[in-house]
Structure 1
Amino acid sequence: MDFLNAVYAACVVFIGFYVLKVPMKYYVFVLLHLLLVFLTNDFLFPVSYMPDQLRYVESTVAIRDSLDFMNYEQYERSSKVAFSSLMFALSPMLSIKSVYSISIINFLLYAFLFIFLYKKKLLVGNAMLFYLLFPSFALYAAVSLRDMLILLFMILSIYALYRKQMLLSILIAAPLLYIKTQNFLIFIAAILMYKSIEKRNLKSKKTLIRVSFLLILLVAFGSMFSIDDINSIRRSMYAEDGGNREDYIPIAGYVDFLFTGFIGSFYMVLKPMIWEVRNPLQLVQSVENIVVFYMIYKIYEEQKIVKDRFITFLLIYFFVGMFIYGLVVYNFGTAARYRFTFEVVFIVFSLSILHKHRKSAKAVERGKA
């Protein structure tokens, strides 16, 4: 049945490319990601390498078989996995019986996002190459996890914000509350931080109101999480990732919290380091991380020249995400899953915006000539 699902998905994407007049040369590259669905689980590595996939399959199948879409939470103990499974169950897939079935749904999301970004003229220049060739993106678009759903709402909400539709962007991001709550909070925090400094006039009444509002929110939010609470979360994550609780080094205070988060944000992008590699997949990720880090650095350097406001927001958004996850994530595989969505959003949007700046600069030069 999964073969029929694959044929169905290939046809749906072909129709999308044809109707929306997306060049067919890209269809071939996108279709290769469908092949990756069958070259990951039980081929490159066993399903047990990412055992959470089975939870999504079991709960999605149960929801579909029962047709009880209102009481979907009874089929999975984790509310986030249950909600994601509900979305998979509601997808127009012919049949869902295995990890390959949900992986094919994720492939359709990958293809949909490609068409969407292409039609919005955001897949231009190096942004196109990155979208098609980014290894971690290809991997997590080919397995049976919820990360493509997370990326879907992240990209659509960021695009709405790019179009200066803030309310719409927050509404689009709202499902993240049920799939990946941290990502929604990171999005809101980044908006507030950016808006508080957007005008760069710290003496203006509007800026003072924004900064005051942000500080009130930070104090209110911070009061919910003491250092002990943060340490409890970190200690649990440390133990889940195989660490000995007795070896855990706690955060000593808020200064240590900021320092650990700042250092952790850089390590989050680069882990695993070359000397930490233990298997071929980690080696690929380590080399990939170096390339991605270099790309981020080049974007930052060019941004210092063009000073695009939206790239400034994207830098804040990316840094806040890496800061938060850098504090609590220890496992290399978990780090790769959590960061690739932020990397895709940041790099694709930044590269496309910079590409447009370059085109405008060249047009001005030709006009002067």
Structure 2
Amino acid sequence: MPDQIQYWIGVNAIRSGNLGLVEALLSGGNVSQASALFAVMPFPTPVSPISLGFYNTFIYIVLFFILYAKRVFTKVSLWTYLLFPSMALYTALSLRETLILFFMILAVIYVRESKIFKSILCMALIYIIKFQNFFIVGPVVLLYFIFDVARKGMGLTKALTIGVIGFVSLLASAPIALPLVNKFRVAMFVEDGGDPKKIKLISGIGDFVIQGLTSGFYFLSKPLPWEAASALQLIQSFENLLVLIILFLVTRQAWIKSPDRLAFWLLFLVLSMSVYGLVVANYGTAVRYRYAFVMMYVLFVCADCNVEKLFLKKSNIAR
């Protein structure tokens, strides 16, 4: 992935003194800001993008022990964390995605413990390195704290009400949001090497609403096997099918155990997938952006709803 080189160059520029640490953080460029966070990690200066990938592997390992020590893991989420192929791939590359995942998960962990300042600090770092995720995770963390979801749940009525408000907001914002969505669709498609003439734009309010309601599931599942254009995409398409099965099984178990808590995390998954589904057309980018939200969903649904197994016991099925 060519953009790995940008982060490697950024870290080396900071370590060599050609770019100041504060200057990088205040630059407004996501690559420079993420590079600054990498640069302060206590490791030798990376001699290649592969070397910088070990920084992310270290973050992945640290996050594992944090989740274990905080007792967030259940048997299901622990094995998902260790065996999720996209998790293994992207946490071994010299990209900012592992940093984003790290701070997103920490923000929720700290709000579960009512450590608001630490959670706000994590959210601030997310804003610095990927502001889109800030506007998705920020409201989620706030609602999680307000409704005390970990202990009380949200309630199906409240979740439905928020869903209706979200749909009405989608309709009301269409005239303003539609040009921006199309702008980002084209920009992200071109950034991934696509021809801007080949990207399909959202044609009107009706299409915008339909895309808003359906893009989330498509974003969660693409590329489908028949859409794969390379060996990697074909592997990712089969991974998607497995992930969808695991999400279904986790959600089913959570619905049986604690539908009030599950309702909150379903809203989170729908919101995150729909937002990115509207603007991301590239299949590889979809997988790269999606895995962090899928991992968060599995981690905290299993933790909040006490999902220890994927399959129901025979005695429960008989009932």
TM-score scaled by length of structure 2: 0.82
Contact 1:157 1:170 in 2 (8 A): yes
Report the more deviating stretch, 129-138 or 116-125.
Answer: 116-125
Matched, 1:190 2:146: no
Q: Could you list the per-position Cα deviations for residues 269-315 of structure 1 after superposition, in whole angstroms to 9, with x for gaps in the alignment?
A: 11111111232222221111111111111222223222354433222
Contact 1:140 1:337 in 2 (8 A): yes
Mapped to 2, the partners of 1:312 and 1:145 lie a distance apart of 32
Q: Could you list the per-position Cα deviations for residues 310-344 of structure 1 after superposition, in whole angstroms to 9, with x for gaps in the alignment?
A: 43322222211110111111111111110011111
- Equivalent position to 2:58, from 87, 108, 121: 108
Give the aligned partner of residue 85 of structure 1. Answer: 35
Give the aligned partner of residue 344 of structure 1. Answer: 295
Mapped to 2, the partners of 1:61 and 1:96 lie a distance apart of 7
Correspondence list, 1:14-93, <5 A: 50-66=1-17, 68-72=20-24, 79-93=29-43
Give the aligned partner of residue 97 of structure 1. Answer: 47
Report the more deviating stretch, 52-61 or 292-301.
Answer: 292-301
Mapped to 2, the partners of 1:259 and 1:350 lie a distance apart of 28
- Equivalent position to 1:178, from 128, 134, 145: 128
Residue 107 of structure 1: how far off its partner (Å): 0.8
Mapped to 2, the partners of 1:167 and 1:198 lie a distance apart of 23
Residue 176 of structure 1: how far off its partner (Å): 0.8
- Equivalent position to 2:266, from 311, 315, 326: 315
Mapped to 2, the partners of 1:134 and 1:352 lie a distance apart of 18
Give the aligned partner of residue 330 of structure 1. Answer: 281
Mapped to 2, the partners of 1:309 and 1:164 lie a distance apart of 20
Matched, 1:272 2:223: yes
Matched, 1:128 2:58: no
Contact 1:241 1:330 in 2 (8 A): no
Q: Could you list the per-position Cα deviations for residues 123-142 of structure 1 after superposition, in whole angstroms to 9, with x for gaps in the alignment?
A: 22121111111110000111
User: RMSD across aligned C-alpha pairs, in angstroms?
Assistant: 3.2
Aligned amino acid, residue 138 of structure 2: I
Mapped to 2, the partners of 1:110 and 1:248 lie a distance apart of 35
TM-score scaled by length of structure 1: 0.72
Mapped to 2, the partners of 1:193 and 1:234 lie a distance apart of 29
Gaps of 5+ in 1: 1-49, 363-369
- State the structure with bigger RCO (CA 8 A, min sep 6), 1 or 2: 2
Mapped to 1, the partners of 2:38 and 2:20 lie a distance apart of 14
Distance change >3 Å, CA 69–CA 97, structure 1 → 2 = same
Matched, 1:285 2:241: no
Q: Could you list the per-position Cα deviations for residues 223-281 of structure 1 after superposition, in whole angstroms to 9, with x for gaps in the alignment?
A: 99432222122122233445443344322334422310222111111111111123222
SS in 2 for 1:252: coil
Residue 192 of structure 1: how far off its partner (Å): 6.1
- The count of corresponding residues between Structure 1 and Structure 2 is 299
Mapped to 2, the partners of 1:135 and 1:175 lie a distance apart of 26
SS in 1 for 2:127: helix
Task: State the structure with more CA Rg.
Answer: 1
Residue 201 of structure 1: how far off its partner (Å): 6.6
SS in 1 for 2:201: coil
